[in-house]
Amino acid sequence: MATDSDERPIGVFDSGVGGLTVFREISRLLPGQPLIYLGDSARVPYGTKSAATIIRYSLEAAQHLAERDVKMMVVACNTATAAALPTLQARLSIPVVGVIEPGARAAVATTSGKIGVIATEGTVKSQAYSRAIHALRPDVEVIESAAPLFVPLAEEGWANTHVAREVAEIYLSPLIDAGIDTLVLGCTHYPILRGTIEKVVGDRVRIVDSAETTAALVKSLIGKSPTGTPEHHFLVTDAEDRFRRIAGAFLEQEIGKLELISF
């Protein structure tokens, strides 16, 4: 594990802008810690691809970040966590943190018995959330459901439109009717639509976003983080102007150091 005085950045990656929800929580909890964010914008979405392809993409992204001397890797993508976390942990010599186990912990701490999970097709197919939740509490009922259109809505900056609202109603009605008391946003893009999702599910359903619990786990693993004002670094595999615009609006800050990369 990294030492207290380790000034190296933490690498954070996702298929696109979704992992910024995790990036934001880590930088809130560890304000002096430099971060390198990689959005694989050339190949988003991951959620509709096969597990073999997601493992290949994830290894390429992680390898690229590892070459930039990061001290820890955060897989800020549920789809990549579900398909590739064990492979990444086996291949890299630094700690690798995923988002599913922290999300499952937060859901179990919140539920009174029935958890809904919305995620990409890949994550739902893997049943990674059901396994992680049942490992903690076998008696809880888990209903997993795919909500793939939330990803392009987030990537387009359409989170607060009536289109997003209608899509949310279609995806969430069956879960509400099934009587869930907790809803896990099992894709890091979905917290971008949190306001819209909250309006549809109402007060009866508690929303769990694994970004906060993942950031808390990162904090506990690195110990004391560097102090000062870090300059974060952003990497994308395509369309940097588009990333600058959408990420800047989401993080409410100028995206300064942005680089176009290829693997």
Residue given tokens 């987030």 in the structure block: 154
Cβ 3 to ligand DGL, closest distance in Å?
31
Residue 54 or 72 having the CB closest to ligand DGL: 54
Q: Which is nearer to ligand DGL, 188 or 225 (CB)?
A: 188
Longest dimension (CA), the chain: 51
Q: Which is nearer to ligand DGL, 2 or 151 (CB)?
A: 151
For Cα atoms 114, 120, 123, give the angle at the middle one, nearest 5 degrees: 70
Least spacing, CB of residue 130 vs ligand DGL, in Å: 16
Tell me, by CB under 6 A, how many residues bind ligand DGL.
17
72 versus 150: smaller Cβ distance to ligand DGL: 150
Which stretch in 15-23, 104-112, 176-184, 233-241 sits in contact with ligand DGL by CB under 6 A? Answer: 15-23
Q: Can residue 18 be called a binding residue for ligand DGL (CB under 6 A)?
A: yes
Apex 55 CA angle, 144 and 40, nearest 5 = 90
Asked if 77 is an active-site residue, the reply is yes
94 by DSSP, 3-state: which? Answer: coil
Tokens encoding 54: 């997601």
Binding ligand DGL by CB under 6 A: which of 78, 111, 126, 213?
78
Position 140 contacts ligand DGL (CB under 6 A): no
Pick the catalytic residue from 17, 106, 147, 187.
187
Strands in the chain per DSSP E: 10-14, 35-39, 72-75, 96-97, 114-119, 141-146, 182-185, 206-209, 233-236, 257-260
- Using CB under 6 A as the binding rule, whether residue 77 contacts ligand DGL is answered as yes
Q: Shortest Cβ distance from residue 5 to ligand DGL (Å)?
A: 32
Q: What's at 173, amino acid-wise?
A: S
What are the angstrom distances between the C-alpha of 116 and each of 19, 48, 202?
A: 21, 20, 14
CA distance 88 to 103: 19
Spatial CB neighbours of 223, under 8 Å, sequence gap ≥ 6: 1, 2, 3, 4
Q: Can residue 98 be called a binding residue for ligand DGL (CB under 6 A)?
A: no
In the residue annotation, 160 being an active-site residue is answered as no
What's the CA gap between 77 and 64, in Å, rounded? 16
Whether 123 contacts 78, CB under 8 Å: yes
Catalytic residue among 20, 77, 108, 164: 77
Interaction between residue 151 and ligand DGL (CB under 6 A): yes
Q: Does 123 bind ligand DGL (CB under 6 A)?
A: yes
Give, as ranges, the residues between 197 and 256 that touch ligand DGL (CB under 6 A). none
Site of interaction with ligand DGL (CB under 6 A): 14-16, 18, 44-47, 77-79, 120, 123, 151, 187-189
Q: Which residues form the catalytic set?
A: 77, 187
